[in-house]
Amino acid sequence: MTDHKDIDEIIDDENDELYEHYSFLVDKGQSPLRIDKFLCDKLEKVSRNRIQNAAKSGSVLVNDKPVKPNYKIRPLDKIRIVMAQPPLEYTIEAQDVGLDIVYEDNDVMVVNKQAGLVVHPGHGNFEGTLVNGLLHHKALWPEINGESRPGIVHRLDKNTSGLLVVGKTEYALSYLAKQFFDRTTERTYNALVWGDFEEEEGTISVNIGRDPKHRKLMTVFPDGDQGKRAITHYKVLKRFGYATFIECKLETGRTHQIRVHMKYIKHPLFNDYNYGGDRIITGTIYSKYKQFIENCFTIMPYHSLHAKSLGFEHPVTKKRMSFEQPLPDYFEELLQKWERYTSGFNL
């Protein structure tokens, strides 16, 4: 495992959701044609089987309504399709990374990812990732047209712990991808951030995109001229004077969203070295306090963010599924240390 103070992951997109979205307007002179054939011609590298599974899962829409694979397109139809990303173009090895499986059936798996584990291989991280672990857990790895592929439709930052859902079939992948695209999943995070808040809760709605000066990081574009809209709702859970324990709910899933938004409102995540939280931001700098913070950094060697809960609709049963995962032991220890430190202080 690499040093936790390396940059988390090279960013190769601006979404944590690993899906593809395409839109087409049918020509005026188009003759009747099955939509799966039409899309197969338009999307040269996408198999007809993937397109058909996307349609069956409700992820192919014509004029904003889902259609079946045998729908005959008409002139001026507006077509949209959402699919999980295609199979990997390189070979990865099966490795036991110690998966913590919270739930599993024939269609989906929910994993409690440990901090320090990269989700998706690439750009120097081809070993020891969550996907390597999924390949080791062979029952999970779907075979699609003879090609093995991971079942990832969203991800967590390397040093973020918590819940992540994986699809085990092409149909499940498409169904889950559509939910993330439509923002019908529910995701709640816990974070310890620097400083105190005047309000009890609030919403941050501001664009996030790649930082032009630091290409491995993200930044806020308050004028909305660049990046993509990102929305985070937050609520105060516990005040420690110099730091605050909060809950965050996401409407969007931009890369590093909570971390970038918290930095933007001057409350960076505790010990987030990429976004300025690995130094003393608030509090009088004197020897005892400085030592206290250094001890806290030792307890929490990652940025203080945990994906606590996850909700989605099951691809097959259509039942709403909800999962919750408590904080890692070291995160709890960190909060207890802050609680002891601030008890009796009028901060």
Provide the pLDDT confidence category of residue 347 given band limits of 50, 70 and 90: very low
Nearest to 305 by CA among 254, 220, 248, 267: 248
Query: Catalytic: 157?
Result: yes
Residue 166's pLDDT is what? Answer: 92
CA pair distance 148, 140, nearest whole angstrom: 10
Residue 87's pLDDT is what? Answer: 58
Residue type, 83: M
Residue 11's pLDDT is what? Answer: 40
Q: Is the pLDDT of residue 122 over 60?
A: yes
CA pair distance 163, 20, nearest whole angstrom: 22
Provide the pLDDT confidence category of residue 262 given band limits of 50, 70 and 90: very high
Reported as a single tens digit per residue, the pLDDT across 16-33 is: 556 778 899 999 999 999
Residue 86's pLDDT is what? Answer: 64
User: Exposed, middle or buried, 196 (CB in 10 Å: 0-12/13-18/19+)?
Assistant: middle
Among the listed residues 157, 182, 272, 278, the single catalytic one is 157
Rounded to the nearest 5°, which phi and psi values hold at 174?
-65, -40
Domain boundaries, the chain: 19-84, 101-184, 188-311+320-342
Q: Is the pLDDT of residue 300 over 60?
A: yes
Q: 147 Cβ partners below 8 Å, 6+ apart?
A: 87
The domain over range 188-311+320-342 is classified in CATH as 3.30.2350.10: yes
In which element (H, E) is residue 171 found? Answer: helix 170-182
Provide the pLDDT confidence category of residue 70 given band limits of 50, 70 and 90: very high
Nearest to 162 by CA among 278, 238, 242, 247: 247
Long-range pairs for 10-13: beta carbons < 8 A, 24 or more residues apart: 10/122, 10/123, 10/124, 10/216, 11/210, 11/215, 11/216, 11/217, 11/218, 11/255, 12/122, 12/123, 13/255
Give strand pairing partners of 228. Answer: 208
For the chain, what's the residue count? 347
Q: What angle do CA 290, 192, 294 make, to 5 degrees?
A: 20
CATH superfamily of 19-84: RNA-binding S4 domain (3.10.290.10)
Return the higher-pLDDT residue of 272 and 123. Answer: 272
Reported as a single tens digit per residue, the pLDDT across 217-254 is: 999 999 988 999 999 999 999 999 999 999 999 999 89
Q: 152 Cβ partners below 8 Å, 6+ apart?
A: 18, 84, 85, 119, 120, 130, 131, 134, 166
Nearest to 88 by CA among 150, 137, 9, 43: 150
Query: Domain 101-184 is of which CATH architecture?
Result: 2-Layer Sandwich (3.30)
**Topology agreement, domain 101-184 and domain 188-311+320-342:** yes
Nearest to 94 by CA among 53, 48, 142, 131: 131
CA pair distance 343, 347, nearest whole angstrom: 9
Reported as a single tens digit per residue, the pLDDT across 132-187 is: 898 888 645 555 444 555 688 888 999 999 999 999 888 898 899 899 988 999 99
- Classify strands 231-239 and 201-205 as parallel, antiparallel or unpaired: antiparallel
SS3 32: coil
